């Protein structure tokens, strides 16, 4: 018998269109194979700097998202009550004129009555600028509840952050420590990187209460108790400093370790740097026996002794202060073992491994380079230890300090921006001082003084009224959270509801599921959105929302602006926002409509530009008073932030031959499309390491337009702006915090990286009432709430169990599939559990954002996501347990305002099965349309 | 043709590295995406947006929790590990799924050992799925025919794809590079070398199916108790004692600092 | 394993049908039955049962219109052999009987051959299951033995109810019941000792994660049931196994046996007793066969933590 014959060379597609994935924020390049005008197959783009051809589960399920029945079809106006989900379709003209009618008067009277908050946004370059032109300071994206601790700690300490703005030197590192990461924004690059490490048999140490995913494949696991990483890292620092295993040369050259700090307890200058007239910080030169500006060449710094300045004041080098602090026995491995849940021997062993790898396995690249002081170096010396950290570190009320501790450890080892270490991605590093302070409101019909989000350097930069009360609706940049560089989106709704500090008129949101998984206290937030005044009007009068899908938030909006899917619109992944650069290359990219929308939907950015034009905003309105830009594509090409600098850095100039700076190029988008949807340019060889101090890099960065003059960074181990706040809390200076905040500032704003216990546990009357920790993790195959509408992805995570450590199960008498009540100071939820051993034994966890509201996302109301899925968010309150002082303390990092999701403390007890449904069971929202589709055979028409 | 071919000279298959698989499901979803419009019928989904969604997949990711044992053979739950475990057809040499098939729809290719289903001949009796110990075959409910991993036979020889893309979709997309494709009959091939070096194993060898696909077991890990490093660790402590713990910590540390600075 | 109704019906009914055909053929050979109209009726019933069983077996097919293809792979496939054998057996039986009716004469050795073919057909049916190594409970010589035993017992009961004149059949029926259920009890006994790990398959060998104190499923690939779980990880059967075994024996053995005793020793009308015994026996067999599937564990369940 002959074997069946098959055609192994089937036609794959008619055409391949290269664009950028947006199944998550990682921004991978994709090849979209088109057949008969439909998407046949999506694969990774091999040439793309981010993913180099690979594609994750979400990216591969793009087809099912693009064609999901949950897509919105048309603009809508609410007809039922808020939260019900009842709408009537309206035309775009009606939608846009309604929005204009709502917004124009606000701009005339008081622009701050508009709160404009965007979520999973990749166009803050545009949205922030729009808010600035509108004149409202009440703008932010999701960073405040996401990872501002990471971003701010990185920028303030070393001019760049882990997050997406840097990466381990995957090709050279020999010891890699990863703290608190499940998926990350860099999800494909991290997986690729871990794989590279494994190939080279480099060691991976994972610090995480849960041993799944990346942590499962690590060579060593540190099953830490949540919120104690700072202690663990400071114990490592204690060991390394005690053993003299720190890179003194590196510290002298690149950090403020030798800078002199005024030693004047009780004085108004205590803790500030000694500076010369020009304001430059001073270092004591031992050879010359006098202070010199830190920028001078050839200093032999005093690192230990207390010195006397010319004016008689005493000062001590930062390094001496560090020795005082970190050599203290309270940071010894023995002292922290119990709190961290990490055995003393393991802490010591890790300290040893760090020292050994950094100092005995040094690597050297023969590459001449010149530093910013003009000194040339014949080689680039590398300490092949690198770190990465994400939300497990940042989503705590001590996250800023913990993240700074991690940076301090890296810097002590001399492993930042060196071969084998942690590397910045251009346009970083950039000193915090090079970022503008947050823009200030300037009154009606006037733009803000600058972009709404920025970096503050002292109390004088806060956005507070004369009486100290916050100027922003989210209280960002107030005494509550001075360094809140990304705003505090998680506080907007509750503050607007409470009218604290003031009420708003319009809440305008984009791409954020704020009534559900992106809010703390989701149940409470839904009530706030529905709440009415005595006069029957909603407390938050008007809500405009742009979503592409039938999310939980849609049901709470008054006006819906339906967005396109990511395959239907232009997007710009810009150097002005969160670009796709790599340590060795600068890069940005676009999305473009590879499929035409088949519904009455419009790209949000285009809509925003049109609204800007209708409102007459600066830069968006033509001389004829009409919108200046035809659409977002037009803006991407023609908008210039500064002469020669636009949203895209590639193919600039009339003929597209320039990069970085250059005139707008009408063919720019086509050039991107021809190039695979992105542009990238490699750094000169000599500019690739030590970017913070590398003159070659600095010159190149200026040429590219990252900054207009070189901006070298001196790593700030001692963070002077924090010292300024402590001084203010002690009553010094013009800007004094309100009484009730003083103690918190004194306790938490240590200018040296420090650890204090996470707030929620500390604020409980009796910690033993809630002896356990509960956290969430990102599932790799699901993106927040929006993966559940995807028929393929939802089969993987149709519901979420709570994973409970074996010892807790034994104590509570729980076995697999039991139902349990989990309670916090704020509420209780009923969930189904699974036993697990590979987890810190005080910590239970679940996958994030799987639980859905009934009726949402075009799922049937009895979908398991709604019946057995659940959100931990119902247990997390946006405010801390009351202290009886009548004050509202936000459940956030006191420095940055970062939402402290992972401070949650809980208890657990067995529940009756009852109906076998998780609680709280939020009543259904009305589905927008019947979804009759039950069986899918996607692709049947192309099969052979 | 349900008789198995004589030992094929080429045995194409996959090598899956459990030491690096992070359980991300990328390979599984990309497999579904490629194959739903590729060889044979679409991979259908039932009750796609309803209470009990299910669908046809050719590759699925399981995760297991393994509890190591100490020298006395006692379990050490505190050192429990998670192992992510992808599973698709292993293209067995002695494939029982082939020999049980009554119609000849199931066959093993003589030229490269790939086990395939001729869906035009398949009656959907399900017997081959019963015969497979690994659960590598799934009946498509909509088409009523048996689906299984084709080793992307419509990619690996496809002239319409660039040379470098002629590899299985799951291998091409795996972000962690945990999946490798090659000829396991050739001892010189990359995959064979990898299997030899890492002690690649067969799944359920006792079933006697002689799978072609191999799994590379997780490498040994340092236990969280870190006792294995006890010997090395004291070095740092000793260094610390010499430098700082002699007298007051401060003066010891400063002594070291002086030295360090003068060496600069 | 998932107990598909059509397959339960197929295996039990066609077993009875072929058992009956075998007995009829032998009866003719040995001159117990003649080529008369009564035989004609019996033959119709026999062929009807067997074909009904065969036809029902196509009900669970995804593409029954192509069922004919299943006859092609007799070289390797027991399912194919079963198909081919049943077609040949039925055809031979019908032709043989037909020629006897027409010519009034038929070679008796053919009858013997048909009886053997019937046995082979039932054997082939059983081998579809017995060959499956991943289902250790089925993977045994006792499986074809048990199928043959039940083919015989149900065939004889049916024969007895249609041939009341032959009193010896009552005793033979009782003997066949004892034989069939004795084999089945041996089968059960073995099955109870034959776990999923009978061939050494454990989650450790299934995953290659050997050398650990234990391995357990942490997270299944998909959280709702997929084809494999529906088909091969059927758990309800095992829960009620003991009760159902009693029911199957009560219906399939005890009651028919009592009925036959009543007829043999207490003069109850054999025609009623035997037909009732047959019907009860078949009902018992449905339960037995449901359990045969529902209790069976497939090694693939290991991967699903079951
Ligand atoms: N318990 C707990 N809660 C958490 C976290 C946690 O770790 N634990 N993490 C927090 C963090 S870091 C984050 S970032 C948030 C994320 O929470 P969200 O920012 O709310 O993210 P999504 O759930 O993805 O919701 C985004 C919304 O964007 C919509 N959308 C998707 N694509 C498009 C599009 O193309 N256009 C438009 N206009 N809309 C679109 C979706 O339909 C959805 O309604 O969750 C936070 N919540
Ligand atoms: N697939 C997928 N990818 C995503 C997202 C998604 O929804 N799905 N969301 C994107 C978004 S918005 C974000 S912000 C990023 C977040 O990316 P990640 O930072 O990876 O976010 P989380 O899942 O919150 O992971 C937090 C990790 O920290 C651990 N952890 C919790 N508390 C502590 C602690 O105190 N110490 C330590 N050491 N670890 C701790 C948790 O166990 C978990 O593994 O992911 C992005 N990427
Ligand atoms: S990580 Fe996945 S979902 Fe995110 S952009 Fe890349 S391919 Fe798309
Ligand atoms: S894509 Fe790779 S890492 Fe992810 S589950 Fe598959 S094999 Fe594992
Ligand atoms: S894994 Fe299963 S389906 Fe694949 S060849 Fe082996 S027995 Fe057949
Ligand atoms: S389901 Fe199809 S391939 Fe499998 S045994 Fe039956 S006919 Fe053969
Ligand atoms: S080889 Fe192809 S068909 Fe097989 S699992 Fe991989 S992607 Fe799927
Ligand atoms: Mo986030």
Answer yes or no: do C109 and C185 share one domain. Answer: no
Question: Between B and C, how many residue pairs show a Cβ–Cβ distance under 8 A?
Answer: 205
The closest ligand to the CA of A180 turns out to be 2
Is the confidence at residue B242, as pLDDT, over 70? no
ipTM (interface pTM): 0.97
Tell which residue, B249, B226, B255, B257, has the closest CA to residue A238.
B249
Q: State the DSSP code for A447.
A: -
Q: What is the pLDDT of residue A944?
A: 67
Candidate from A18, A19, A27 with most ligand 3 atoms within 8 A of CB, to mutate: A27
- Put simply, the answer to whether B135 touches C221 (Cβ < 8 Å) is no
Q: Beta strand pairing status for A203-207 and A175-179?
A: parallel
Structural domain contains residue C68: yes
pLDDT band at residue B223 using 50, 70 and 90 as cut-offs: low
- Is the domain of C184 the same as that of C290? yes
Give the Cα separation of A866 and A876 in Å (integer): 19
Of A836, A838, A864, the CB nearest to C224: A864
CB atoms A303 and B257 under 8 Å: yes
pTM listed for this prediction:
0.96
Is the pLDDT reported for residue B206 higher than 60? yes
Chain centroid, CA A654 distance in Å:
36
**CA gap A810, A348 in Å, rounded:** 32
Asked if residue B112 lies in contact with residue B14, where contact means CB atoms within 8 angstroms, the answer is no
The average confidence (pLDDT) of chain B is 90
Q: Is A797 on the interface with C (CB under 8 A)?
A: yes
Closest ligand 7 atom number to CA of residue B32: 8
Q: Which is higher by pLDDT, C167 or B127?
A: B127
List chain B domain ranges. Answer: 12-225, 233-262
Backbone angles phi, psi at B208, to 5 degrees: 75, 25
Cα A904 to Cα A163, A493, A837, B2, B161, distances in angstroms: 23, 21, 21, 59, 51
- A797 and C224 within 8 Å at the Cβ level: the answer is no
Q: Helix A318-326 crosses helix B249-263 at what angle (to 10 degrees)?
A: 140
Q: Which ligand is nearest to the CA of A786?
A: 1
Q: What string of DSSP letters covers A846-901?
A: EETT----TTGGG--TT-HHHHT---GGGG--SBPPP-SSS---BSB-TTT--B-G
What is the band of B234 on the pLDDT scale with cuts at 50, 70, 90?
very low
Together in a domain, C125 and C248 = no
Q: Assess whether the C-beta atom of B252 lies below 6 angstroms from ligand 6.
A: no
The total number of structural domains in chain C stands at 2
| B121 has pLDDT over 60 | yes
Cβ atoms of A256 and A246 within 8 Å: the answer is no
**Do A184 and A167 touch, CB atoms closer than 8 A?**
no
DSSP string, chain C: ----HHHHHHHHHHHHHHHHHHHHHHHHHTTSS-SSHHHHHHHHHHHHHHHHHHHHHTTT-S-GGGGGGGGS-TTT-HHHHHHHHHHHHHHHHHHHHHHHHHHS---HHHHHHHHHHHHHHHHHHHHHHHT-TTSTTT-STHHHHHHHHHHHHHHHHHHHHH-TT-THHHHHHHHHHHHHHHHHHHHHHHHHH--TTTTS--HHHHHT--SSSEEEEEE-S-SS--HHHHHH---HHHHTHHHHHHHHHIIIIIHHHHHHHHHHHH---HHHHHHHHHHHHHHHHHHHHHHHHHT---GGGGGGT-
User: How far is residue C278 from each of residues C151, C260, C275, measured CA to CA in Å?
Assistant: 12, 10, 5
> Does residue B61's CB lie within 6 angstroms of at least one atom of ligand 4?
yes
Ligand 4 centroid to residue A781 C-alpha, Å: 11
Say yes or no: CB of residue B136 within 6 Å of ligand 6: no
Last residue of a domain, one of C84, C106, C131: C131
Rounded to 5°, the CA angle B60-B62-B64 comes to: 165
Q: Does C150 reside within a domain?
A: no
A864 touches C: beta carbon within 8 Å: yes
Please report the pLDDT score of residue B224 as a whole number.
Answer: 54
Q: Is B246 exposed, middle or buried (0-12, 13-18, 19+ CB in 10 A)?
A: exposed
- Shared domain check, C227 and C118: no
Alpha-carbon span C31 to C25, nearest angstrom:
10
Distance A489 CA to ligand 8 centre (A): 12
Ligand 6 pocket, mutate which of B117, B118, B136, B139 (most atoms under 8 A from CB): B117
CB-based contacts of A811, cutoff 8 Å, min separation 6: none
Does C192 share its domain with C125? no
The radius of gyration computed from the CA coordinates of chain A, to the nearest angstrom, equals: 27
**What span, in angstroms and rounded, lies between the C-alpha atoms of A245 and A200?**
25
For B79-104, what is each residue's pLDDT tens digit? 999 999 999 999 999 999 999 999 99
Ligand 4 contacts CB of residue B233 (under 6 A): no
Subunit contact B125:C61, Cβ cutoff 8 A: yes
Examine residue C146 and state whether it is found in any structural domain, yes or no: no
Any C CB within 8 A of A796 CB: yes
A142 lines ligand 1 (CB under 6 A): yes
Distance from residue A781's CA to the centre of ligand 3 (Å)? 10
Residue B113's Cβ-side half-sphere holds a number of Cα atoms within 13 Å equal to: 25
Query: Using the beta-carbon criterion (under 8 Å), do A798 and C218 form an inter-chain contact?
Result: no
pLDDT at B237: 55
- Residue count (chain C): 306
Closest CA to A724 of A459, A403, A417, A414: A459
C221 touches chain A (CB under 8 A): yes
- Ligand 4: residue of B16, B19, B22 to mutate (most ligand atoms within 8 A of CB) is B22
The H or E element spanning position B181 is strand B179-183
Characterize the bridge pairing of strands B59-67 and B81-88: antiparallel
Whole-angstrom Cα distance, residue A517 to residue A520?
8
Q: What is the pLDDT along chain C (306 residues), one digit of tens a residue?
A: 999 999 999 999 999 999 999 999 998 888 888 778 888 889 999 999 999 999 998 999 999 999 999 999 999 999 999 999 999 999 999 999 988 888 877 788 999 999 999 999 999 999 999 999 999 999 999 999 999 999 999 999 999 988 877 778 889 999 999 999 999 999 999 999 998 889 999 999 999 999 999 999 999 999 888 899 999 988 777 778 899 999 999 999 999 999 999 988 888 888 899 999 999 999 999 999 999 999 999 999 999 998
Chain B residues whose CB is inside 8 A of the A841 CB are: 78
The first and second tokens of residue A638, run together, are 């023609």
CA geometry: angle at A572 spanning A570 and A574, to 5°?
A: 175
Find the domain containing C296 and state its range. 168-306
Whole-number Å distance between alpha carbons of C35 and C54: 26
Alpha-carbon distance of C113 to C90, in angstroms, equals: 12
Contact C223 A795 (CB under 8 A): yes
Interface test with A, best of C72, C220, C223 (most A CBs within 10 A): C223
What is the tens place of the pLDDT at every residue in A870-910? Answer: 999 999 999 998 877 777 789 999 999 999 999 999 999 99
What per-residue string of b and e applies to B168-207 under the rule 16 or more CB within 10 Å gives b? bbbbbbbbbbbbbbbbbbeeebebbebbeebebbbbbebb
DSSP assignment string, B204-247: SGGG----S-EEEPPPP-B-TT-GGGTTTTHHHHHHHIIIIISS
Is C125 in the same domain as C173? no
**Residues of A with Cβ-Cβ distance to C212 under 8 angstroms:** none
Residue nearest to atom 7 of ligand 3 (CA): A59
**Which residue among B112, B152, B172 has the greatest number of ligand 7 atoms within 8 angstroms of its CB, and so is best to mutate?**
B152
| A353 shares contact with chain C (CB less than 8 Å) | no
Among B24, B39, B172, C228, residue whose Cα is nearest residue A793: B24
How far is residue A5's CA from residue A942's CA, in Å, rounded to a whole number?
Answer: 19
Instruction: Say which ligand is closest to the CA of B17.
Output: 4
User: Tokens for B133?
Assistant: 């110990």
- Which residues share a beta bridge with A455? none
Residues A605, A126: Cα–Cα separation, whole Å:
8
What chain A residue is nearest to B3 in terms of C-alpha separation?
A1
pLDDT band at B251 (very low <50, low <70, confident <90, very high): low
User: How close, in Å, is residue A771 to chain B by CA atoms?
Assistant: 19
Measured in angstroms, the CA of B170 and the nearest CA of chain C are apart by: 16
Average pLDDT over residues B116-134: 97
Residues with CB under 6 A from ligand 2: A 24-25, 58, 146-147, 179-185, 187, 207-210, 224, 226-227, 229, 390-392, 396, 775, 777-778, 780, 782-784, 845, 902
| β pairing state of A828-836 and A802-805 | parallel
- Paired with A16 in beta bridges are A33
Q: How far is the CA of B174 from the centre of ligand 4 (A)?
A: 5
Could you say which residues of chain A have pLDDT below 50? Answer: none
Do C107 and C199 sit in the same domain of this protein?
A: no
* CA nearest to B79 within chain A: A838
Question: Is C305 within a domain?
Answer: yes
**Are the beta carbons of A213 and B44 separated by less than 8 Å?**
no
The domain B12-225 having CATH identifier 3.30.70.20: the answer here is yes
Cα(C33)–Cα(A843) distance, integer angstroms: 79
Cβ of B64 within 8 Å of Cβ of C227? The answer is no
Q: Which residues of C touch A864 (CB under 8 A)?
A: 223-224
Nearest protein CA to atom 4 of ligand 6, as residue: B128
Considering the domain architecture, whether residues C9 and C114 belong to the same structural domain is answered as yes
Query: In chain A, how long is the greatest CA-to-CA distance?
Result: 102
Question: Cα–Cα distance between A927 and A555 in angstroms, integer?
Answer: 9
- Return the residue matching tokens 């030229």: B111
Same domain flag for C83 and C213: no
Ligand 5 in contact with B39 (CB < 6 A)? no
């Amino acid at each position: 018998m002959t074997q069946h014959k098959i055609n192994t060379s089937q036609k794959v597609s008619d055409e391949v269109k290269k664009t950028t994935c947006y199944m998550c924020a990682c921004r991978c390049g994709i090849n979209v194979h088109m057949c008969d005008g439909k998407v046949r197959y999506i694969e990774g783009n091999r040439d793309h700097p981010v993913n180099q051809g690979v594609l994750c589960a979400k990216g591969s399920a793009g087809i099912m998202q693009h064609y999901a029945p949950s897509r919105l079809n048309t603009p809508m106006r609410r007809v039922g009550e808020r939260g019900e989900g009842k709408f009537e379709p309206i035309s775009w003209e009606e939608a846009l004129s309604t929005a204009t009618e709502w917004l124009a008067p606000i701009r005339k009277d008081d622009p701050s009555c508009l709160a404009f908050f965007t979520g999973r946004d990749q166009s803050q370059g545009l949205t922030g600028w729009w808010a600035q032109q509108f004149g409202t300071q009440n703008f932010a994206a999701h960073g405040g509840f996401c990872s501002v601790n990471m971003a701010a700690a990185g920028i303030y300490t070393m001019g760049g952050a882990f997050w997406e703005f840097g990466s381990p030197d995957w090709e050279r590192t020999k010891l890699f420590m990863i703290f608190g990461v499940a998926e990350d924004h860099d999800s494909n690059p991290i997986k690729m990187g871990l794989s590279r490490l494994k190939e080279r048999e480099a060691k991976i140490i994972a610090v995480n209460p849960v041993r799944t995913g990346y942590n499962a494949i690590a060579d060593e696991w540190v099953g830490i108790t949540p919120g104690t990483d700072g202690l663990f890292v400071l114990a490592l620092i204690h060991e390394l400093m005690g053993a003299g295993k720190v890179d003194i040369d590196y510290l002298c050259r690149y950090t403020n370790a030798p800078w002199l700090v005024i030693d004047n307890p009780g004085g108004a200058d205590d803790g500030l740097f000694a500076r010369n007239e020009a304001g430059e910080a001073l270092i004591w030169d031992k050879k010359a026996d006098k202070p010199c500006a830190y920028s001078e060449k050839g200093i032999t710094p005093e690192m230990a002794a207390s010195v006397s300045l010319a004016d008689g004041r005493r000062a001590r080098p930062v390094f001496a202060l560090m020795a005082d602090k970190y050599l203290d026995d309270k940071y010894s491995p023995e002292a922290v073992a119990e709190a961290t849940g990490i055995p003393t021997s393991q802490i010591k062993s890790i300290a040893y491994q760090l020292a050994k790898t950094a100092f005995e396995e040094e690597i050297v690249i023969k590459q001449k380079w010149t530093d910013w002081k003009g000194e040339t170096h014949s080689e680039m010396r590398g300490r092949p230890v690198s770190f990465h950290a994400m939300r497990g570190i940042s989503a705590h009320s001590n996250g800023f300090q913990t993240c700074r501790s991690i940076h301090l450890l890296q810097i002590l080892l001399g492993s930042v921006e060196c071969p084998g270490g942690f590397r910045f991605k251009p346009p970083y590093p950039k000193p915090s001082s090079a970022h503008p302070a947050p823009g200030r409101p300037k009154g009606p019909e006037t733009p803000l003084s600058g972009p709404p989000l920025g970096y503050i350097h002292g109390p004088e930069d806060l956005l507070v009224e004369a009486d100290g009360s916050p100027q922003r609706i989210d209280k960002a940049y107030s005494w509550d959270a001075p360094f809140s560089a990304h705003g505090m989106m998680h506080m907007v709704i509750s503050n607007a509801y409470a009218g604290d500090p003031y009420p708003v008129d319009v809440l305008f949101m984009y791409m954020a599921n704020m009534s559900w998984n992106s809010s703390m206290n989701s149940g409470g937030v839904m009530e706030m959105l529905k709440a009415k005044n005595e006069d029957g009007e909603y407390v938050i009068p008007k809500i405009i929302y742009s979503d592409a899908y039938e999310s939980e938030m849609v049901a709470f909006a008054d006006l819906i602006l339906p967005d396109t899917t990511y395959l239907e619109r232009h997007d710009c992944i810009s150097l002005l926002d969160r670009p796709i650069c790599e340590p060795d290359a600068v890069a940005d990219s676009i999305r473009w409509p590879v499929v035409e929308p088949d519904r009455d939907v419009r790209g949000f950015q285009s809509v925003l530009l049109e609204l800007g034009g209708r409102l007459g905003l600066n830069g968006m309105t033509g001389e004829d008073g009409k919108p200046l830009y035809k659409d977002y594509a037009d803006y991407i090409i023609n908008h210039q932030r500064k002469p020669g600098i636009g949203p895209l850095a590639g193919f600039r100039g009339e003929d597209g031959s320039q990069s970085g700076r250059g005139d707008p190029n009408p063919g720019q988008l086509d050039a991107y499309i021809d190039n695979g949807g992105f542009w990238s340019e490699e750094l000169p060889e000599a500019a690739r390491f030590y970017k913070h101090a590398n003159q070659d890099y600095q010159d190149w960065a200026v040429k590219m337009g990252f900054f207009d003059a070189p901006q070298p960074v001196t790593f700030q181990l001692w963070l002077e702006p924090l010292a300024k706040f402590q001084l203010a809390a002690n009553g010094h200076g013009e800007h004094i915090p309100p009484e009730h905040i003083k103690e918190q500032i004194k306790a938490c704003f240590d200018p040296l990286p420090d650890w204090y216990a996470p707030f929620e546990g500390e604020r409980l009357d009796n910690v033993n009432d809630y002896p356990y920790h509960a956290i969430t993790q990102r599932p790799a195959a699901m993106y927040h709430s929006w993966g559940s509408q995807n028929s393929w992805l939802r089969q993987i995570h149709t519901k979420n169990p709570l994973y409970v450590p074996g010892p807790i199960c034994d104590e509570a008498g729980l076995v697999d599939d039991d139902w349990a009540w989990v309670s916090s100071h704020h509420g209780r939820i009923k969930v189904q559990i699974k036993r697990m051993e590979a987890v810190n034994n005080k910590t239970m966890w679940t996958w994030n954002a799987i639980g859905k509201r009934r009726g949402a996302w075009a799922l049937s109301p009895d979908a398991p996501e709604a019946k057995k899925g659940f959100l931990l968010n119902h247990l997390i309150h946006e405010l801390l347990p009351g202290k009886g002082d009548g004050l509202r303390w936000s459940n956030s990092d006191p420095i940055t305002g970062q939402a402290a999701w992972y401070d949650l403390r809980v208890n657990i007890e067995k529940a009756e099965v009852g109906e076998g449904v998780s609680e709280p069971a939020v009543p259904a929202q009305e589905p927008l349309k019947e979804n009759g589709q039950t069986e899918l055979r996607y692709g049947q028409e192309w099969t052979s | 043709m349900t008789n198995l071919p004589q030992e094929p000279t080429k045995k194409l298959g996959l090598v899956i590295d459990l030491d690096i698989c992070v359980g991300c499901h990328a390979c599984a979803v990309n497999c579904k995406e490629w194959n739903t419009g590729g060889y044979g019928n679409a991979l259908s989904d039932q009750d796609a947006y309803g209470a009990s969604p299910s669908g046809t997949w050719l590759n699925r990711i399981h995760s297991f929790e393994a509890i190591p044992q100490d020298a006395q053979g006692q379990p050490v739950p505190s050192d429990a590990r998670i192992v992510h475990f992808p599973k698709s057809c292993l293209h067995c040499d002695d494939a029982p799924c082939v020999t049980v098939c009554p119609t000849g729809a199931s066959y093993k290719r003589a030229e490269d050992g790939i086990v395939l289903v001729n869906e035009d001949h398949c009656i959907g009796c399900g017997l081959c799925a019963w015969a497979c110990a690994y659960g590598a075959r799934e009946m498509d409910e909509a088409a009523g025919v048996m689906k299984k991993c084709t080793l992307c036979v419509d990619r690996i020889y496809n002239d319409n794809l660039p040379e470098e893309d002629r590899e299985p979709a799951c291998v091409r997309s795996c972000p962690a590079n945990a999946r490798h494709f090659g000829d396991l009959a050739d001892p010189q091939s990359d995959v064979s070398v990898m299997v030899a070096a890492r002690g690649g194993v067969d799944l359920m060898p006792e079933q006697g199916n002689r799978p072609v696909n191999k799994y590379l077991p997780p490498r040994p890990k340092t236990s969280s108790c870190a006792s294995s490093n006890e010997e090395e660790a004291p070095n740092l402590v000793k260094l610390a004692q010499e430098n700082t713990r002699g007298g007051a910590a401060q003066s010891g540390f400063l002594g070291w600092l002086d030295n360090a600075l003068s060496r600069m | 394993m998932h107990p598909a109704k059509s397959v339960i019906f197929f295996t039990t009914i066609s077993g009875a049908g072929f058992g009956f055909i075998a007995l009829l053929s032998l009866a003719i050979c040995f001159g117990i039955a003649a080529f008369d109209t009564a035989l004609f009726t019996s033959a119709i019933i026999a062929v009807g049962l067997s074909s009904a069983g065969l036809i029902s077996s196509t009900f669970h097919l995804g593409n029954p219109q192509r069922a004919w293809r299943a006859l092609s792979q007799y070289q390797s496939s027991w399912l194919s052999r079963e198909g081919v054998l049943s077609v040949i057996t039925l055809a031979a039986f019908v032709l043989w009987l037909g020629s006897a009716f027409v010519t009034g004469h038929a070679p008796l050795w053919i009858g013997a051959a048909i009886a053997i073919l019937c046995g082979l057909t039932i054997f082939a049916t059983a081998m579809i299951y017995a060959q499956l190594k991943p289902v250790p409970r089925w993977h045994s010589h006792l499986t074809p033995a048990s199928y043959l035993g039940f083919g015989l017992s149900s065939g004889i009961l049916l024969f007895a109810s249609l041939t009341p004149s032959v009193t010896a059949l009552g005793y033979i029926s009782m003997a066949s019941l004892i034989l069939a259920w004795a084999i089945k009890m041996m089968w059960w006994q073995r099955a109870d000792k034959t776990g999923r790990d009978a061939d050494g398959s454990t989650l450790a060998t299934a995953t290659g994660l050997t050398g650990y104190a234990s391995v357990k499923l942490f997270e299944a690939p998909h959280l709702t049931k997929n084809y494999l779980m529906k088909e091969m990880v059927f758990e309800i059967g095992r829960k009620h196994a003991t009760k159902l075994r009693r029911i199957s024996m009560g219906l399939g053995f005890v009651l028919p046996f009592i009925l036959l005793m009543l007829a043999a020793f207490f003069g109850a009308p054999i025609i009623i007793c035997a037909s009732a015994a047959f019907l009860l026996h078949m009902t018992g067999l449905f339960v037995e066969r449901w359990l045969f599937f529902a209790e069976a564990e497939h090694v693939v369940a290991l991967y699903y933590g079951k």
